[in-house]
Amino acid sequence: MRRGHFLQQSAALSLAASIPAAARAAPASDPFDPTAGAWQTYEVVSEIVLPAGSGPARVWVPVPAFTESDWMRPGKITWTTNAPSAALANDPTSGVTMVSAQWRNATPPATLTVTALVSSRNLSVDLATPGDAPALSQEQYRYYTAPSKLQPTDGIVKTTADKITAGATTDLEKARRIYEWIVVNTYRKPTTRGCGLGDVSFMLETGDLGGKCADINGLNVALARAAGLPARDLYGIRVAPSKFGYKSLGASSSTITKAQHCRSEIYLVGYGWVPSDPADVRKVILEEPPGHNSPTDPKVVDARQTLFGAWEGNWIAYNDGRDVSLPGSNGPQLGFLMYPQAEVGGQREDSLSPSDFVYTITAHEITG
């Protein structure tokens, strides 16, 4: 996106934000209403092939292991492989679950197919009045307010969070202000590889708030934590088209190899974990046909109103871990695990190039 175009959009979004909610509301026939309903079950298959004769090799495949009783239920995980060693593995520090396979010599071609069953449904939190959502334990509170390597909570992150939330009288108001600030001030950068790096200090220090979901929603999480609100990134993948007419917010086919998306949530006392996905609002602005949409376009307004408090169940979560160590690897930690990973001859492969490090991910809904 050209910088001038971004600034024009930001100004327009600021103007749109000043319009009273009643005037900005979508018509009564609003199609984007992902209230809780029936569960959908998906079979997600990840197939990895490493070339023959490539020497010692390891592969790590993220699997859906994140559980929330209201909207995400992981199921059975199975795999087939010609590896002499393969197992379900965990990084004990981040808690991330994956299937790990190891070959002494990838001859013939090293293959691993992981099949996961997972059920999901729409999530919508009533923000009109607090309820009796379970409280976080002290351990959970500490974990979800702690900084990570890519998401510090001091320095420029803390300064920015304090400016955004100055004068807010409730945690709900703080969370909403952060969400709206990110919608207005960030932009989706199509040249960003994968889902981005999520290096929020770099974004704020350079003043370039462009990126993709790991960047934009990572900023959302870091600012919330810096404001004293427990928050988390959920790393996963889109598994089906949107049922609400959003081409940009769903998988376009059963092949979902490049459909990874991370979402974010902020914990609010009385409400529980509240969806907050400003990255998808910016995706709608840039990518929803015909593209480069006005912030006052009905679909943009609809998305902006909906994606704080609700989201559609056509997406599944792998995990909410950060600073992930791959079991058995001597390579560097990952900021997060959302893509299959491989090492060949001790060298980490490029996980964002599935045509080179060959892998394919597909998803099918299980009915009946």
208 and 329 together in one domain: no
Cα→Cα distances 318→40, 93, 263, Å: 16, 16, 11
pLDDT of residue 357: 82
Q: Could you tell me the mean pLDDT of each successive run of 10 residues in the chain, 368 residues long?
A: 36 44 43 92 96 85 97 98 96 96 86 98 95 95 96 98 98 98 98 96 97 98 98 98 96 97 98 98 98 96 97 98 95 96 91 88 93
188 and 281 part of one domain: yes
| Whole-number pLDDT of residue 330 | 84
Geometric angle at alpha carbon 191, from 186 and 194, rounded to 5°: 90
In the 8-state DSSP scheme, what is residue 326? P
Please identify, among 273, 289, 312, the residue that sits at the C-terminal boundary of a domain.
312
CATH number of the domain residue 234 falls in: 3.10.620.30
How many structural domains are present in the chain?
2
Q: Based on the domain organization, do 136 and 172 belong to the same domain?
A: yes
Same domain, yes or no, for 162 and 306? yes
- The dihedral through the CA atoms of 251, 256, 257, 259 has a sign that is positive
Contact 94, 66 (CB under 8 A): no
Separation of alpha carbons 275 and 70, rounded Å? 13
Question: What pLDDT does 279 receive?
Answer: 98
Tell whether 182 and 262 lie within a shared domain: yes
Helix axes 213-226, 278-287, angle to 10 degrees: 150
Domain membership of residue 237 as a residue range: 125-312
pLDDT, residue 219, reads 98
Render 107-154 in DSSP notation, one character per residue. -S-EEEEEEEEEEE--EE---SS---PPPPPHHHHHHHHS--SSS-SS
302: in domain: yes
Q: Which domain CATH number covers 70?
A: 2.60.40.2250
Among residues 189, 207, 183, which one has the least CA distance to residue 264? Answer: 183
Residue 29 lies in a domain: no
148 plus 246 within the same structural domain: yes
**Under 8 Å between Cβ of 88 and 77:** yes
Do residues 165 and 256 both lie within one domain?
A: yes
Please indicate, yes or no, if residue 171 is contained in any of the structural domains. Answer: yes
Distance CA 360, CA 61 (A): 11
Q: Are residues 193 and 327 in the same domain?
A: no
- What pLDDT was estimated at residue 55? 79
Same domain, residue pair 192 and 303: yes
In a domain, 343, yes or no: yes
Using DSSP's 3-state secondary structure scheme, residue 324 falls into strand
Same domain, 272 and 338: no
Beta bridge partner(s), residue 67: none
| 264 and 139 within one domain | yes
What's residue 39's pLDDT? 97
165 and 175 Cβ atoms separated by less than 8 Å:
no
Q: Supply the pLDDT for residue 113.
A: 98
Check whether residue 275 and residue 150 sit in a common domain: yes
Give the model's pLDDT for residue 346. 86
- Omega into 31 within 30° of 0, i.e. cis? no
- Domain assignment present for residue 32? The answer is no
pLDDT the model gives residue 22: 37
Task: State the pLDDT at residue 14.
Answer: 53
